[in-house]
Amino acid sequence: MTELERACESFRILMEEQQARIAKMQAEKVDFSKKDTVTIGLVDGDGIGPLIMNQAVKVLETLLADEIAAGKIILKRIEGLTIENRLAKNQPVPTEVLAEIKTCDVLLKGPTTTPMGGKMESANVTLRRELDLYANVRPVSIPGEGIDWMFYRENTEGEYVLGSRGVELPGMAVDFKVTTDAGTRRIARAAFDYARQNGKNRVSIVTKANIMKKTDGKFTAICHEVAAEYPEISVDDWYIDIMTANLVNPAIRNQFQVMVMPNLYGDIITDEAAQIQGGVGTAGSANIGDRYAMFEAIHGSAPRMLEEGLGDYANPSSILKAEAMLLRHICRGAAAEKLENALENCKTVVTGDRSGATGAQFTEDLMMLL
Ligand code: IPM
Ligand code: MG
């Protein structure tokens, strides 16, 4: 076989796998208001992960104390999603860890380090795919400026689904981007449902359909199809380049409400949005599927902070915001609201270095407000 034939053969296998994935996409939604017990898996992750998770777990135990005592909520610690164990097992999510995770309903997860280069996939990407967490939901708000954005990022396909499985030929490399009808329809529905249920009247579709004509073209077309089912909501579309500019344009940025987009654009623009809000340490992130959901900080594991001895100064705000989203997802709206209010009113400032409070101080002050 020539190298070209080998490349074509691996392309064929990839396409077959992707077609098979479409067939597996329908799942039934869990209704948490009707579930007797909810199991929350707690996964530390790497770097500052265990440190911020400690703070988040203290808050969770306080907020849910009665239901934990009554056995209605089960908090389950899951070990082994560490970079050391993943490298030792040569698996982005070791088999036994994934099995434990699948016994839970929802997960609160600290950041996990992604090995650079090599072949190993990011644990996040693996979990999103294995648990079919198709909606990455990231809110950003700056009340003083009237900014209240909600990003619906497609989370299981696009540039990510085959991101570790590109093809190399002499002198060149090819990666693949995959957009499916079903995958687009479900993220579009999630975005429009959110808008409808939260009194929003505008959804903006963000792509680069002028260049990615097939994939982003399909994404745009299907979002418009879904939009037709929500006549009370206005819809507009934008290219990602101008949208990144819009977010730093004070004249118009507070007019955007809900934004829906393919995976990679969502990855990039939500970091930008979080930075506008005050830093990537300040935003929470939810990965939602029909069966499972995973809530995490938007930032990484910050190994540099540990190297510099600054672990105690890691900011737990992002994971705590994710925790509030988790509470809302499992229909514990009152607890979610308590946490959100406390986060909004806590005046203790964590700067990530010795000039600010430690994560533990912040959490202690926050818990006084619960
Ligand atoms: C995010 C992160 C991840 C992503 C990484 C850690 C794989 O940047 O959640 O935005 O690219 O999606
Ligand atoms: Mg990112």
Is the CB of 280 within 6 Å of ligand 1?
no
- Residues 138-157 pLDDT 10s: 999 999 999 999 999 999 99
Note the pLDDT of residue 280: 81
Q: How far is the CA of 104 from the centre of ligand 2 (A)?
A: 25
Structure tokens at 327: 């509470």
Q: How far is the CA of 280 from the centre of ligand 2 (A)?
A: 9
Q: The pTM is what?
A: 0.93
Element (H, E) at 236: strand 234-239
Q: Which long-range contacts (CB under 8 A, 24 or more apart) does 225-229 make?
A: 225/185, 225/188, 226/185, 226/188, 226/189, 226/192, 227/188, 227/192, 227/203, 229/192
Q: How far is the CA of 119 from the centre of ligand 1 (A)?
A: 16
Is the CB of 283 within 6 Å of ligand 1?
no
Q: How far is the CA of 93 from the centre of ligand 1 (A)?
A: 15
> In this structure, which residues have their CB less than 5 angstroms from ion ligand 2?
267
Q: Which ligand has an atom closest to residue 155 CA?
A: 1
Q: Is the pLDDT of residue 26 over 90?
A: no
Which residue blocks in 250-332 are alpha helix, DSSP H? 263-277, 303-307, 317-329
Note the pLDDT of residue 279: 86
- Mutation probe of ligand 1 site: the residue of 46, 93, 122, 124 with most atoms within 8 A of C-beta: 124
CA distance linking residue 321 with residue 194, whole number of Å:
18
DSSP one-letter code for 100: H
Q: How far is the CA of 86 from the centre of ligand 1 (A)?
A: 17
Which atom belonging to ligand 1 lies closest to the Cα atom of 124?
7
DSSP one-letter code for 276: H
- Residues 265-286 pLDDT 10s: 999 999 999 999 988 878 889 9
Q: Is 166 left (phi over 0), alpha (psi -120 to 50) or beta?
A: beta
Whether 322 contacts 139, CB under 8 Å: no
Band of pLDDT at residue 73, cut at 50, 70 and 90: very high
* Count of C-beta atoms within a 10 Å radius of residue 148: 16
* Count of C-beta atoms within a 10 Å radius of residue 196: 16
CA distance linking residue 235 with residue 204, whole number of Å:
6
Note the pLDDT of residue 274: 93
Q: Between 118 and 218, name the one with better pLDDT.
A: 218
Structure tokens at 54: 């400690």
Residue type, 224: H
Is the CB of 113 within 6 Å of ligand 1?
no
Structure tokens at 106: 């929802």
